[in-house]
Amino acid sequence: MDAVKIAPGFEKIMPQEYQDLVNDGPYGRNLSVKDLGTFKELIDEHPLCAGCTLTLSLRIVLASLPNPENTLIVTCAGCFGVIHPQISLHCTIAPFGTHNAFASGLKRALKVKFPNKNKDVISMAGDGGFADIGLSPTFHSWVRGERLTSIMIDNECYANTGGQDSGMTPEGVVLNMSPLGKNFPKIEFAELAKLAGCAYVATATPTNPRLLGQMVRRAILVSREVGPTVIRIATVCQTNYKLSPIEGYNKAKSFESQTFEYFTKEAQKYIESIEKKSPKTELNLEVGVENED
Amino acid sequence: MKEKKTVSPEYMILEAPREKKFMIGNEALAEAVKRANVDVVVVYPITPQSEISHLCGDLWVAGYIKDYYRGEDELHVMASMMGAASAGVRTFTATSGPGTLRAMEPFACWAGYRLPIVCPIMGRGIGTPANIQPDSVEIFYLLETGMIIFHVESPQDFFDMTLQAYAIAEQPDVHIPVIVFCDGFFVTHTREIVETTPDDEFLLPYNSNLSPVPAMDMEAVPVRMARDCLVIKNNFISYNANASWQQEVRAAQHRARKYIDRFMGGPLEVINPDAEVLLMASGSAAAQARVAMEIAQEEGIDVGMVKIKVIRPFPVAEIAKLCEKAKLIMVPEFNFIGWLAKEIKAVVNNNSKVFSGPNVFAGMTMPPEVIVDEIKKLLKLTK
Amino acid sequence: MKINIRISGLGGQGLVTAANILGRAAIYDGNYSSVAPFFGAEKRLAPTESYVRISSKKLYEKGEVTYPHIIVIFHPEVITRGKCFTMPFYAGFQPNGWLIINSESLLISEEDIENLTKLNARVVYVPATKIAREIAGTELATNMSLLGGLVGATELVTIDGLEKAIAQRYGGEKFVASATTAVLDDVLRKKYGEVQELVGKNMASVKKAYEFVKQNLEG
């Protein structure tokens, strides 16, 4: 890509990693999860726990961006706060819970600054950040119709702060602030998203990278033209749930039964026009479309 | 979008011809915003700020502001401002009282993000007990957020200081936010003569290439950059990086001084500095102090006045020098805390001659006569 | 007597536990101690430090130990790959200090040896991981071996004090552990059915390393 170039005179002093991103990065190449291993990724190290599925999910998301050269990410406090400096595109942390508000301002300003250019803005946070402290601004960004893709990594707890229950923890689970077991059910986050008028809502697990990658792509494309989109990645924090990495992976795999995709009619039409066929997930799941009434 | 004739801040603030109008503070502020070539405005209602938010909406419809929307609460409006300003556009918002406190987390973050946001705050009482009447108590909570703070005396100040705020905030070696604070209704809804610049001349647009921190817009790719070096130990960012970042923000505040001198004629307005009695005040209290000074002079008492326009960076050296000769320094304030008196006492050698008062709050008016009475009482005591 | 100890290693090796046990042992011996927290998000194999201060008089100082009298290195990579929060790993080292290193082979560079010699530092290598594997059957007892080695070299606390502290830490009393420490506690609980056995294995590692150091110092 021509825009991705080292400023003349600086070629010899830029570090190897930068050179690799310029020469072999994903910019302008329309790569996806199936190409992993053949290009320099936007993330290749992380300072999080061994076997962490948040990092796996992030890696899949970053490998699935339709236009990585024009994508920005807003994250928040938590394990994302720890990993965000490792991501090779503009990303930042917003005050906890405010990431969708921050992203709204960012997206609007980028539209003002570059009226003829598309900039994809993704907000990524955990279940605590989206469903508890961030529920209000997230919901408002949806009902305002902000063109954002919200990706929740739902590991069913506040992980970075040492394992407390969040609104997305299932009822009865014993964690650090629910010593007698959480006393209310898991928040129906995806249902809220549908109610708020999101154009595309999906749930996937990191154990099926191609499917998740396809959802990420669809979510971003729909958010460009139709309306806000949401993906909930159902997974587990193996450290705080006291599982080995393999046990954690298997638990995440067990969440595959929660996989689904929902399109509004307009979103479905839009995706059809791009993919040249009716959208179908790889698992041949029934695709939910908004009611005819 | 209207085709705009753009001028430099130097021209608009220091040279442009002025026309006398009669308007309330919120209108004067809107006139400044109209000329400031603002890109993105996000608002939320709270008394007594709401009018400016409405007026910004009208400006947006008329094409003077490029994007505008109402957010869901002040915390998230201020977070949206962070997003918009990070992208590298000129931004504006406003809040008051409980709204200010609701937004304290972003307010403490703005300067560190190096965002040249200009945010007027229309001060009012904060619970408990609740009060929408004028008060400058909020400034106390904002003092150490790292932001530059101007204190507005009148609708004229509201017009001038807002334009000055953009000129100063956007300097590459400053590039931190400016709070333009007025004491609520005393300014927002008082109608006075305001001299405005021509309304078809607009500030040059903001240029994010001059920002000391690259704009978050993916225009220089590839990039791997943390705008906020979260020290969490295991991501290998040293305490030093965080510490020096904080020091840099404070240094930016100090570097603003030369622009405060250039665009505002300095942080102080001084009248009769050699007087026996000096009234030192900011905001609306300065207005009352002016009149008190006149009354006292007529009664034969030698009184001077120092209006403090800039609260942060606090003009330490100048205040210390001005306080050397006077026998008595009185600091009238529209708040219960007496924060301005504390600031002054902290920099004056012999501060037993600095008196905090009168302190008027809960919306009461501070008649200049009351100030004069206090002066007389104190003079009897110190004689 | 006032001694500052800085322990450097990698996350998951039990540095914080070692610091807590050492501090508590000092109290059982009748001294004062304070154990300073290393506060950060926890992460396996990331550089980690823990700090202990031991004194015959009441201790007030807070924060990390910048000028240690004793440095304990839990993992060779602290030295060989610079996985350390202080650079060099002996920054701030007081003269005549003790440097206890978990390694089976010599690790220190020529330049560092020169600097440490100038400080009259006394360097002791303890094959702590090896001892832990052989005696306790798990690498998680590395910290115990190192404590044994430390005491063998410095007699900073008594073996008796250590035993009491270890029994208390693992003895079933509720210990406020951080998330990942709690995970490792569970691993140990699964491995050793009886608390007695766990404490016993730990003490065996302590004693073995203690003897190892005593023998080698004599030579």
Scanning every residue of chain C, which has its alpha carbon at the shortest distance from the alpha carbon of A239? Answer: C180
Q: Which of B330, B309, B268, B285 is nearest to B135 (CA)?
A: B285
Looking at the structure, tell me whether residues B157 and B289 fall in a common domain. no
Q: Which of B139, B119, B120, B74 is nearest to B285 (CA)?
A: B139
CB contact under 8 A, B234 and C42: yes
Local confidence band at A231 (pLDDT 50, 70, 90 cut-offs): very high
Q: How large is the greatest C-alpha to C-alpha distance in chain C, in angstroms?
A: 49
- The residue range of the domain holding C117 is 2-218
Looking at the structure, tell me whether residues B178 and B48 fall in a common domain. yes
Looking at the structure, tell me whether residues B311 and B184 fall in a common domain. no
Q: Is A85 on the interface with B (CB under 8 A)?
A: yes
Number of domains chain B is built from: 2
Crossing angle (nearest 10°) for helices B368-382 and B284-298: 60
Q: Which of C9, C10, C65, C12 is nearest to C35 (CA)?
A: C65
- Enumerate the β-bridge partners of residue A175: A178
**What is the spatial distance between Cα A178 and Cα A64, in angstroms, rounded to a whole number?**
37
**What is the spatial distance between Cα C179 and Cα A238, in angstroms, rounded to a whole number?**
11
Give the closest of B72, B218, B227 to A92, CB-based.
B227
Nearest CA distance, C40 vs chain B (angstrom)? 5
Nearest CA distance, B233 vs chain C (angstrom)? 5
Looking at the structure, tell me whether residues B82 and B193 fall in a common domain. yes
Asked whether residue B241 is domain-assigned, the answer is no
Would you state the structure tokens that stand for residue A125, as one six-digit string?
A: 């946070």
Scanning every residue of chain B, which has its alpha carbon at the shortest distance from the alpha carbon of A21? Answer: B222
Q: List pLDDT tens digits, range B157-177.
A: 999 999 999 999 999 999 999
Give the closest of A47, A50, A162 to C178, CB-based.
A162
Q: List pLDDT tens digits, range B119-165.
A: 999 999 988 888 899 999 999 999 999 999 999 999 999 999 999 99
Nearest CA distance, C40 vs chain A (angstrom)? 10
Domain boundary among B208, B224, B247: B208
Number of domains chain A is built from: 1
CB contact under 8 A, B233 and C11: no
Q: Phi then psi for A231, rounded to 5 degrees?
A: -125, 130
Nearest 5°: CA angle at A62, between A60 and A68?
150
Q: Cβ contacts (< 8 Å) between A95 and chain B: which residues?
A: 75, 79, 82, 105-106, 109
CATH number at residue A81: 3.40.50.970
Asked whether residue A263 is domain-assigned, the answer is yes
Give the closest of C41, C45, C183 to A242, CB-based.
C183
CATH number at residue C193: 3.40.920.10
Nearest CA distance, C199 vs chain B (angstrom)? 31
Would you state the structure tokens that stand for residue A270, as one six-digit string?
A: 């839009």
Nearest 5°: CA angle at A120, between A118 and A122?
165
Q: In the prediction, which pLDDT does A283 show?
A: 44
- Enumerate the β-bridge partners of residue B21: B194
Q: Cβ contacts (< 8 Å) between B230 and chain A: which residues?
A: 81-82, 84-85, 93
Asked whether residue B260 is domain-assigned, the answer is no
Asked whether residue A5 is domain-assigned, the answer is no
Asked whether residue B234 is domain-assigned, the answer is no
CB under 8 Å to A199, separation ≥6 — which residues?
A222, A223, A226, A227, A228, A229, A263, A264, A266, A267
Asked whether residue A31 is domain-assigned, the answer is no
**What is the spatial distance between Cα C65 and Cα B67, in angstroms, rounded to a whole number?**
53
**What is the spatial distance between Cα B301 and Cα B368, in angstroms, rounded to a whole number?**
14
How far are the Cα atoms of A270, B333, B340, B361 from residue B285, in angstroms, in the given order?
61, 6, 11, 11
CATH number at residue B22: 3.40.50.970
Asked whether residue B199 is domain-assigned, the answer is yes
Asked whether residue A28 is domain-assigned, the answer is no
Q: Which residue has the tokens 């061994």?
A: A50
Average the pLDDT over C68-75 and give the result.
96
Q: Is C82 on the interface with B (CB under 8 A)?
A: no
**What is the spatial distance between Cα B138 and Cα B121, in angstroms, rounded to a whole number?**
9
pTM of the model: 0.90
Nearest CA distance, B224 vs chain C (angstrom)? 21
Looking at the structure, tell me whether residues B275 and B190 fall in a common domain. no
Q: Cβ contacts (< 8 Å) between B234 and chain C: which residues?
A: 11, 40-43, 46-47
CB contact under 8 A, A90 and B75: no
Nearest CA distance, B109 vs chain C (angstrom)? 21
Domain boundary among B177, B193, B208: B208
CB contact under 8 A, B232 and C46: no
**What is the spatial distance between Cα B286 and Cα B151, in angstroms, rounded to a whole number?**
10
DSSP C136: I
Q: List pLDDT tens digits, range B350-369.
A: 899 999 989 999 888 999 99
In this predicted structure, the answer to whether residue B237 has a pLDDT above a threshold of 80 is no
Asked whether residue B218 is domain-assigned, the answer is no
CB under 8 Å to C99, separation ≥6 — which residues?
C70, C71, C73, C90, C93, C116, C121, C122, C123, C124
In this predicted structure, the answer to whether residue C94 has a pLDDT above a threshold of 70 is yes
CB contact under 8 A, A163 and C41: no
**What is the spatial distance between Cα C8 and Cα C47, in angstroms, rounded to a whole number?**
7
Asked whether residue A14 is domain-assigned, the answer is no
Average the pLDDT over A34-54 and give the result.
89
**What is the spatial distance between Cα A152 and Cα A124, in angstroms, rounded to a whole number?**
6
Q: Is B63 on the interface with A (CB under 8 A)?
A: no
Q: Which residue has the tokens 């080698």?
A: C216
C-interface mutation test, from B231, B233, B236, B242, most C Cβ less than 10 A away:
B233
Q: List pLDDT tens digits, range A161-180.
A: 889 999 999 999 999 999 99
- The residue range of the domain holding B330 is 268-382
- ipTM rounded to 2 decimals: 0.92
| SS3 category, C70 | strand
Q: Is A18 on the interface with B (CB under 8 A)?
A: yes
Asked whether residue B240 is domain-assigned, the answer is no
Indicate the helix (H) or strand (E) that contains B357.
strand B354-359
Scanning every residue of chain C, which has its alpha carbon at the shortest distance from the alpha carbon of B237? Answer: C85
Q: Cβ contacts (< 8 Å) between A18 and chain B: which residues?
A: 222, 224
- The residue range of the domain holding A98 is 43-160+167-284
Q: List pLDDT tens digits, range A50-61.
A: 789 999 999 999
- Enumerate the β-bridge partners of residue A164: A158
